[in-house]
Amino acid sequence: MQRRRTIAAAPRRTATEVWATICSLIGDTLERSSSINRAHVDTALAPLGQLARMLISAGHLENHPLVLVADDLWLEISTASGVEALTMDENLNPVPGGGTATDWTLHVPQVEPMAKLAQATAAGQAHLSADEPVEQTQSSASAATGVDVEALAAWARERA
Amino acid sequence: MSTSTWTTTYTYTHTATYLSDVIMGTIADVLALLGITPSDSNRWDEDQAAIAAWIEEQSLEMVVLECRRPDGTARPIFEFPIAYRAGEGQFENSRASMARAHAKISSVPSGSTYRLFCTFRMARTPQPGWGPGTRASTAGLRSTSFGSLADAPHASADLRYLR
């Protein structure tokens, strides 16, 4: 299940505020799963905070998104700055697909000149990676059912 | 679905947030390029917030990044002069051209560190984590202008490189 979210950066938000928004989006998405603990997600993302601020401020996430892979969920998170950041509509809702996840990895883009820093930051972290996300996951997700079962269930609950 | 919208009235806060973000992002790229370890995220937040506050009150004249070598010399040095004007212009930056200029930036020895300085054109509001300091001499350094780094409705930032 491939999804994209774009977060408004400067001048609407500072890099620190953007990172907090991204962490909330990831946490809100993954905590729908009974297998994933929200506090553990927050703890796992913390080591990325410094590099994330640098990537956001330097504009790298505008063209090289973070990619959250959680079983069938493939979520690309990018940023927008300038006038676009002030005029865009954001969707900060939890991303459908997180509810069935049992494990997750956030892939950090290896963009120069921060590639080495990305590798060093992700090294030894269970849920962070500086490797390219595995294409198989994306392919199998694309081949999966086109119906978002979780979103459908949520809609049904709202209607009930 | 929760969505959010924003008006297109540009404020000094927008200008300050945008310029401080581009300046800190450029500093981030330079430090990564030179292999200098950045400060922790708390210090990074303080620096970004201070630069934004001083741009917003229009007291900031220039941000200076000094790369300190293990032998105590400061080289290269990056200067980010700020120019203020009436509300005109758009949010634009030259990050792409900066990326092409990375090859011109000389390397530093392992173990080098960095310091940030700000100079002022008028009295400023004190900011957490910032105190008086003395810049290194720039005598004997060659200056190269990279031109405009970022433009915003109420101010702009240029970039100079001294080596």
Domain ranges of chain A: 2-159
- Looking at residue B158, which CATH number applies to its domain? 3.30.900.10
CB atoms within 10 A of CB B137: 10
B42 in a domain, yes or no? yes
Q: How far apart are CA B93 and CA B18, in angstroms?
A: 10
B42 vs B82 pLDDT, higher one = B82
B3 vs B89 pLDDT, higher one = B89
Confidence (pTM): 0.88
Q: Number of structural domains, chain B?
A: 1
B6 in a domain, yes or no? no
A34-73 pLDDT, tens digit each: 999 999 999 999 999 999 999 999 999 999 999 999 999 9
B8 and A82 in contact by Cβ < 8 A?
no
B60 in a domain, yes or no? yes
Q: How far is CA B72 from the centre of its chain?
A: 22
Contact B70, B36 (CB under 8 A): no
Chain B residues 117-146 with a CB less than 8 Å from chain A: none
Q: Which residues pair with B36 in a beta bridge?
A: none
The dihedral sign for the CA sequence B15, B113, A48, A141: positive
A81 and B21 in contact by Cβ < 8 A?
yes
The reply to whether A20 touches chain B by the CB within 8 Å rule is no
Q: How far apart are CA B15 and CA B87, in angstroms?
A: 10
Among A133-142, B32-41, B53-62, B72-81, the least confident range: A133-142
B29 in a domain, yes or no? yes
Residue B1: pLDDT band by 50, 70, 90 thresholds? Answer: low
- Which residue range is the domain that position B43 belongs to? 12-133+141-162
Q: How far apart are CA B159 and CA B64, in angstroms?
A: 10
Residue B62 predicted with pLDDT over 80: yes
B145 in a domain, yes or no? yes
Shortest distance, CA B75 to any CA of chain A (angstroms): 19
- Across the beta sheet with B92-93, the strand order is B92-93, B143-151, B155-162, B74-84, B60-68, B113-120
B4 in a domain, yes or no? no
